[in-house]
Structure 1
Amino acid sequence: MRVALFALGGTISVSGGPGRDGGVPRLTGAEIATAVPGLAEAGMELDVRDVQAVPSASLTFAQVLDVVAAASSAVRNGALGVVVTQGTDTLEETAFLADLVWPHEAPLVFTGAMRKPTLAGADGPANVLAAVRVAASDRARSLGALVAVNDEIHAPRWVRKAHSTSTATFVSPNAGPVGHVVEGRVRIMAVPPRHEPLPLPAEPFAAARVALHCVTFDDDAALLGTAADTCDGLVVAGFGVGHVPSALAPVLGTLAERMPVVLTSRTGSGSVLRNAYSAAGSETDLQRRGLINGGMLDPYKARVLLRLLLATGAGSEEMAAAFVRHG
């Protein structure tokens, strides 16, 4: 059985502190794999490749899609599945982007680490072993992209990094893990919904700029004044079920006449509602003004989806339908 492993940067690869030249010593993909106890006995051949050795905070949409393209090539060349190791800072977003466009039955599994390999209790080796097992498992086929950490398997649509340092940082508040790795066995407890992959953009992502505005107590419209002049789309992280101060409602309505504006909740779990409240600034009022309901997508995932849709030239009806499907 052959699994492809693509190693990016991140904590899982950091082998020490800053060097004399200011650079950070990093492990190669082969070195990461060699340090995994039990991997050699698992009966899987690894095709290890090093790509984009940068912190995940510096990853771009284009770089992630390049990795997806390389992963697709590996599957076409016979890999049962693919593992991507990267930093955890943006893993919830990169995995979601990959899931939106991944066309194969073979699993594409993202993993990382919260503790450096040099620290006591480093979690990288266990996460890599679990991810490789998931990538090679028949049970994970046709589930799209997945996240394997802490012996849990999460769907990118739901997963969030919820703690800055804990090794149990990744959770799926709305759904829970879709599976677990137990004594080396992959157990899928719930099958995440799958949709037709979205098309890949022909134009550079730089041509699709999407802002994210988190609504706060006593917020006003000043920060939104130039959005239409500098951005192609906007995601609003509203209060609770999708509310904003009444003073923001007409400003957002005007913006929605010029570009797509997606309404989400800043709470971290739960859904934006559709017609429970009707006051100015409520979800009903904002939708009447043209905002797109983001459903259960958190603001960060909504921004990924909106930017991909803009980059592929989707029209307003296509965008609304995409958020119904994925939200």
Structure 2
Amino acid sequence: MSVALFTLGGTISMAGNHRLTGDDLTAAVPGLAEVGHAVEIQDVEKVPSANLTASTMLDVVDAASKAVADGASGVVVTQGTDNLEETAFLVDQVWPHPQPFVLTGAMRNPTLAGPDGPANLLAAVRVAGAPAARDLGALVVFKEEIHAARWVCKTHSTSTATFVSPNAGPIGHVVEDRVRILTRPLRLDGVHGRAEPAELDATRVALYTVTMDDDGLLLQGLADTHQGLVVAGFGVGHVPSALAPVLGELAAVMPVVLTSRTGGGSVLRNTYKSVGSESDLLQRGLVDGGFLDPYKARILLRLLLATDDDLEAAFAQYR
């Protein structure tokens, strides 16, 4: 039995001016040899996570699928944490296998006191090789907590406890040498079509965060440059009344998804009735993003547009 490890750089591999390889990373993990799974290493590229692209992650998914076809019991990816919540959700949409696909990283690099990378990597390998973690899609493992990709968020710029799932909590824990899954969320349908790199690169989806006194001036000309828009509204999905007709006009020519900028909870549908309320915006043609945060909604909308998949059915799963 083996676990396929793909390394993508990030804080976990930063050692001054030197970037650690997968061999370096695994050599620094006490107890890894006793896990019972050989770790097959593939160093992909060493870049800050801010430079990772959707196309790169889809290439990793393809390589991971080949590893699974060759007998790997699960997959681990190490990367920077800046956009790990987004890459995990992207993977979750396209990963077709029952084998776990686990993403992890570190908040403290190996030159600092108390680096968290070794412990995170050890826990991630345990989860990737655990039968109990099968059929859960993409997972994020940090501080011995196991998070479902569709709920996990990075919530602190420096804390090692940065990854949490505000709407659900972790779905499991690694306790001593045991992977303990406490709840098994229903695995949702992913994106059915294959997002080809050229199509994905040509698909532009904007993310617009609503602010006080917002009149939508920054949205002028958006329909000429983008194919979709995600709106991060106030609270349960509200915008200033002056912005409502602007968004309605855009919704007439492109998909516009309504989400909340709060970081937790769902947008509503029928509670408030004023101009700029959630019910008003949905009547103007905006798509209900449900419990999806703005970042994940943007990932999903971009994939759907690139594959011409069923947009309404895909977002309905998150309501």
Q: Is TM > 0.5 for Structure 1 vs Structure 2?
A: yes
Structure 2 distance, partners of 1:137, 1:147, is 14
Q: Answer yes or no: is the 8 Å Cα contact 1:105–1:143 preserved in 2.
A: yes
Cα RMSD, aligned residues only:
0.9
Q: 2:288 — aligned with what? A: 293
Aligned residues: 317
Structure 2 distance, partners of 1:52, 1:321, is 35
Q: Answer yes or no: is the 8 Å Cα contact 2:11–2:106 preserved in 1.
A: yes
Q: 1:261 — aligned with what? A: 256
- 1:270 deviation in Å? 0.3
Structure 2 distance, partners of 1:42, 1:105, is 21
1:303 to 270, 274, 298: 298
1:67 to 54, 60, 63: 60
- 1:184 deviation in Å? 1.3
Structure 2 distance, partners of 1:87, 1:114, is 8
Structure 2 distance, partners of 1:252, 1:88, is 32
Q: 2:174 — aligned with what? A: 181
2:311 to 319, 323, 327: 319
SS at match of 1:204: helix
Q: 2:7 — aligned with what? A: 7
Structure 1 distance, partners of 2:218, 2:97, is 42
SS at match of 1:69: helix
Structure 1 distance, partners of 2:104, 2:258, is 29
Structure 2 distance, partners of 1:253, 1:14, is 46
1:53 to 32, 40, 46: 46
Identity %: 67
Structure 2 distance, partners of 1:86, 1:184, is 23
Query: Does residue 1:238 correspond to 2:237, yes or no?
Result: no
Q: 1:19 — aligned with what? A: none
Structure 2 distance, partners of 1:246, 1:52, is 46
- 1:195 deviation in Å? 2.3
Structure 1 window deviating more from structure 2 (237-246 vs 34-43): it is 34-43
Structure 1 distance, partners of 2:207, 2:190, is 24
SS at match of 1:109: strand
Structure 1 distance, partners of 2:189, 2:208, is 29
User: What is the TM-score of this pair, normalised by structure 1?
Assistant: 0.95
Q: 1:250 — aligned with what? A: 245
Unaligned runs of 5+ in 2: none
- 1:230 deviation in Å? 1.1
1:295-318 deviation digits (Å, cap 9, x = unpaired): 00000000000000011023xxx2
SS at match of 2:282: helix
Q: Answer yes or no: is the 8 Å Cα contact 1:159–1:170 preserved in 2.
A: yes
- 1:12 deviation in Å? 0.3
Q: Answer yes or no: is the 8 Å Cα contact 2:3–2:125 preserved in 1.
A: yes
2:121 to 123, 128, 131: 128
Query: 2:312 is matched by which residue type in structure 1?
Result: A
Structure 2 distance, partners of 1:193, 1:281, is 33
Q: Answer yes or no: is the 8 Å Cα contact 2:91–2:138 preserved in 1.
A: yes
Q: Answer yes or no: is the 8 Å Cα contact 1:260–1:292 preserved in 2.
A: yes
Structure 1 window deviating more from structure 2 (277-286 vs 202-211): it is 202-211
- 1:53 deviation in Å? 1.1
Q: Answer yes or no: is the 8 Å Cα contact 1:109–1:148 preserved in 2.
A: yes
Q: Answer yes or no: is the 8 Å Cα contact 2:207–2:229 preserved in 1.
A: yes
Q: 1:21 — aligned with what? A: none
SS at match of 2:40: strand
Q: Answer yes or no: is the 8 Å Cα contact 2:189–2:314 preserved in 1.
A: no
Structure 2 distance, partners of 1:75, 1:115, is 30
Unaligned runs of 5+ in 1: 17-23
Pairing 1:272-287 to 2, within 5 Å after superposition: 272-287=267-282
2:84 to 85, 91, 97: 91
Structure 1 distance, partners of 2:277, 2:200, is 32
Structure 2 distance, partners of 1:52, 1:277, is 48
- 1:254 deviation in Å? 0.3
- 1:326 deviation in Å? 3.6
- 1:52 deviation in Å? 2.0
- 1:92 deviation in Å? 0.2
Q: Answer yes or no: is the 8 Å Cα contact 1:105–1:141 preserved in 2.
A: yes
Q: Answer yes or no: is the 8 Å Cα contact 1:237–1:266 preserved in 2.
A: yes
